[in-house]
Every structure is written in C-alpha cells, then in structure tokens.
Amino acid sequence: MSAPTKPGAAARQPERPKRGVGPWIAGIVLVTLTVWSATGVKIDLASIWRNWGNASGTIVKLFQPDYSFFPQTVGPIVQTLLMAIIATAVGSAISLPLAFLASRVTNPSRALLAIVRFLNNVVRAVPDLLYAAIFVAVIGTGALSGIFALVLFNIGIVVKLVSEAIDGLDQGPQEAALAAGATWFAADRAAMLPAVAPSYAAQVLYTFEVNIRASTVIGLVGAGGLGVLIDNVRTFYHYHYLSLIILEILVLVLVVETISSTLRRRLTR
C-alpha cells in the first residue's frame, strides 16, 4: 500500500516537457530546402496569372464532354482492360515463385536470395513509362509493348509485397515439415503457400487496379490502350473529347477499385 498523503500537502504538478530547438531547426531546414528547390526549377507563379485567360477557356471545355465521341472510345477502353488482365495474369504467375526465392524464410540459399532481391530492386527502380518507351522502341507501337511494360512493372510490385508477407508468416508448419524429412520445396508448397495465398490474391487484385491506371498513361508513348487516343485528341486540342475520356477513366477506375477492394477485404479476413 502507498503511504497516506499528509494533510495539507499540495499535489505536485507534473513537469511540462521541455521543448528544444530541434523542431524549429527542422522547420527552418524544410522551408529553406523548399525555397531552394523552387528557385532551382525556376517556378514562376506569376505565369499562372498571365496565362489564366488560356487556362480558363481550356477548363471550361474540359467540363463540357462531347458524348457523341463515345463510340470511338469503346475500342481503346476494351484494349486497356485486356492489357491489364493479360499483364496481371502473366506478371502474377511469374512473381509467385520469385517471391518465394526473394524471402529469407523460404529460400535457404543466401547467395540466390541476394541475387533475386537485387534483380527485383532493379526491376522496381525503372518506371512503367520508361519500360513502355523501351519496348515501343524495340517492338514497335501497340498493345504488346504495353503488356510487356506492365508485366515487368507487376513483377517488381508483387515479388516485393508477397516476399515480405512470407517473411511475416509463422514458420512452425514449415519447420515441422522439414523435421519430418521434406525438402525445402515440398515444405514451402505444403506449409507456406496456403498461408500466403490470401495475401498473394489481394496483391494480384491490387496490381490489376494499378494496371488499369498505368495502361492509360503508357499509351502516351505509343504502348496501346486509351493513352494513344488521349495523345491523339490532345495533339489536336479537342478538349471536349478529352473530357469524355477522362470521365470514362474515372468511372472505370472507381468501378474496378470498388470491386477489387471488396474482394481484397474478404480475402484477408
């Protein structure tokens, strides 16, 4: 039991924490870096006001979509969806074994583990738009270049996320299988694959969402999908048509994201 408080003894107030100069220094450094960066890239805020006349006209056109252009967008929309489906299927199939090789829990070879992780870091370091530009230069314009770009982009994402999910799994079933005489491959397949399957499926759905967005961008360099149509419309300043395409992309992304999020929540319960 604690000692009784003496009558008349004043309760001691807790000391207020002392505020050092650290937050102020961090704030000053952040502001300095921001101003220095803005000066380095030569940001001219006055140009916004000078060009406001042209911008206001463009914005008005963007809020007036021309729905008569819809039939010409159906083909590119379908191509965008097909590109995302193919890239997701191929990239996810390749990524699953690579994810097991990139996890320290399922790959006993430290040398192979380091090689796989290094190569995956290289794959993830290259943006999808740059992949698309490279494949367009090698293969030519069209959906095939976009699919190859999205496949590599997906491999970098799925391998990273799934291998980290494997690292966090309970290793008890795997150790029991190894103790019973199973090989590493058999132990990983029997003990670790069923455990990581829900996380893997959730990441596949997530990459499909990303592919829908990415396939509309990589088309700007000629890699198929809606991006090619966007580039053509933008070149001739047909902002009424561009407004319709943006609206279609918004609806498509929201529908796919809603379905994907619902499925991922059910898978990870």
pLDDT in tens, the chain (269 residues): 455 555 555 556 666 666 667 788 888 999 999 888 888 887 777 777 777 767 777 777 778 888 999 999 999 999 999 999 999 999 999 999 999 999 999 999 999 999 999 999 999 999 999 999 999 999 998 899 999 999 999 999 999 999 999 998 888 888 898 888 888 889 988 889 988 998 898 899 889 988 988 888 898 888 888 888 988 888 888 888 989 998 998 898 888 888 888 887 777 66
| 22 part of a folded domain | no
Domain enclosing residue 128, as ranges: 73-267
List the beta strands (DSSP E) in 89-141.
Answer: none
For the domain that residue 111 is a member of, what is the CATH number?
1.10.3720.10
At position 98, the amino acid (one-letter code) is: L
**In the chain, how many domains are there?**
1
Residue whose C-alpha is closest to residue 211's, from 164, 155, 153: 153
| 56 part of a folded domain | no
User: Which positions ≥6 away from 156 have C-beta within 8 Å?
Assistant: 120, 123, 124
> Cβ atoms within 10 A of the Cβ of 9, count?
7
* 189-219 as b/e: b if 16+ CB within 10 A: eebbeebbeebbbbbbbbbbbbbbbbbbbbb
| 9 part of a folded domain | no
At position 164, the amino acid (one-letter code) is: E
- What is the end-to-end Cα distance of the chain in Å, rounded? 46
pTM recorded for the entire structure: 0.78
